[in-house]
Amino acid sequence: MKKKTLFSAAAALACLAAGAACAQAQDVYPSRPITLIVPFGAGSGTDITTRLLAKSMSEQLKVPVLVDNKAGANGAIGAQAAAKAKADGYTLLIGSATTNAVNFAFFPGRLGYEATQFQGVAGLSSSPVSLYVEAASLWKTVPDLVADAKSNPGKVSCGSGNAVTQVACEIFRLQAGIQATNIPYKSNPQSLTDVVGKQVSDAFSDPSAAQTYVEGKRLRALAVASAARNPVRPGEPTFREQGMPEFEFTAWVSVFAPTGVPAPVLERLNAVVRKAVDSPEMVQTLARTGGTAMHFNQQETQAFYRREVERWAHYIKDSGVKPEQ
């Protein structure tokens, strides 16, 4: 059966007014495979969410939806590739607080892409990051770690797998008043692996990347960086409860498209992503890993994107945190 186009009569009139670029989008969408670029390694929280998203999108759109992991440089390699892709809705970025907010303030003019090269499509999930230590660590609380670090300057190292967790390491060091070496990795799973192997003292990570290690009793969370305890993991105390009331960090994942994708395509993608977020598999995964679904329409996603860019710019400027070189 022949597919219907995405355009209503009103959209078609708007398209005529917009010109040729919009008119080209009147071809049936999608008519070929869609690629979701994940700017982090396989097994990361972003990757896990994306593979569920790809499955649901493929079922809804009746075309293959491919996952392309392009890790490295705090997600900048993958984000740059997506920014340079054709603005036709067939290449999308699974962006995050790192790639589409923190990086702009961390590496101004050095990323190979700018905030204006992306437009928000739909939100996926958000979750507070936590501080993890090896399961048998003698540190049972945040004060234990801080006291040990102050008694043994230079002993503590903090693993970070993206810009958000790198900032978390630095802010924790500053607020706790300790010496701690920030060890950057290409992804959170890599930093957590070295915590398990006792190569690094501790690491900040989103809960989904740490889930397997936590379930296997190889990692333990000292604290979650949110105002209140995560209802999915009520046994994890907050930093606020342990004497650090200003320490809050939330990671998020959203779908982005290169700027210029026609509005009807963006609206179609938003509807598909929102349905995927409500799928039983996604709901179950978010509940298990401590994530919260983000139900934004396309305009709300774009507004959220702009706010996050501004928020992190102010946060990094005010804190004086510098990226690890």
Contacts of 147-153 with CB under 8 Å at 24 or more apart are 149/176, 149/178, 149/179, 149/180, 150/177, 150/178, 153/178, 153/179
In which band, very low, low, confident or very high, does the pLDDT at 22 lie, cut at 50, 70 and 90? low
- pLDDT of the residue at 187: 82
pLDDT at 282 over 80: yes
Angle at which helix 280-289 crosses helix 45-61, to 10 degrees, equals 170
- pLDDT of the residue at 1: 41
- pLDDT of the residue at 201: 97
Instruction: Tell me what the mean pLDDT of segment 129-152 comes to.
Output: 97
Higher pLDDT among residues 77 and 9, named by residue? 77
In which band, very low, low, confident or very high, does the pLDDT at 321 lie, cut at 50, 70 and 90? confident
pLDDT at 13 over 60: no
Which of 66-70, 164-168, 187-191 has the highest mean predicted lDDT (pLDDT)? 66-70
State the CB neighbour count (10 A cutoff) for residue 155: 14
SS3 call for 293: strand
pLDDT at 93 over 90: yes
Determine the Cα–Cα distance for residues 47 and 40; give it in Å rounded to an integer. 7
- pLDDT of the residue at 48: 83
pLDDT at 181 over 80: yes
pLDDT at 262 over 60: yes
- pLDDT of the residue at 209: 85
Determine the Cα–Cα distance for residues 44 and 121; give it in Å rounded to an integer. 21
pTM value is 0.76
Instruction: Tell me what the mean pLDDT of segment 224-242 comes to.
Output: 90
Ordered structural domains, the chain, with CATH: 29-126+250-319 (3.40.190.150), 130-242 (3.40.190.10)
pLDDT at 315 over 50: yes
Instruction: Tell me what the mean pLDDT of segment 229-249 comes to.
Output: 90
- pLDDT of the residue at 5: 42
- pLDDT of the residue at 287: 82
Which of 31-40, 45-54, 289-298 has the highest mean predicted lDDT (pLDDT)? 31-40
pLDDT at 3 over 50: no
pLDDT at 2 over 80: no
Beta-strand runs (E) in 211-276: 219-224, 250-258
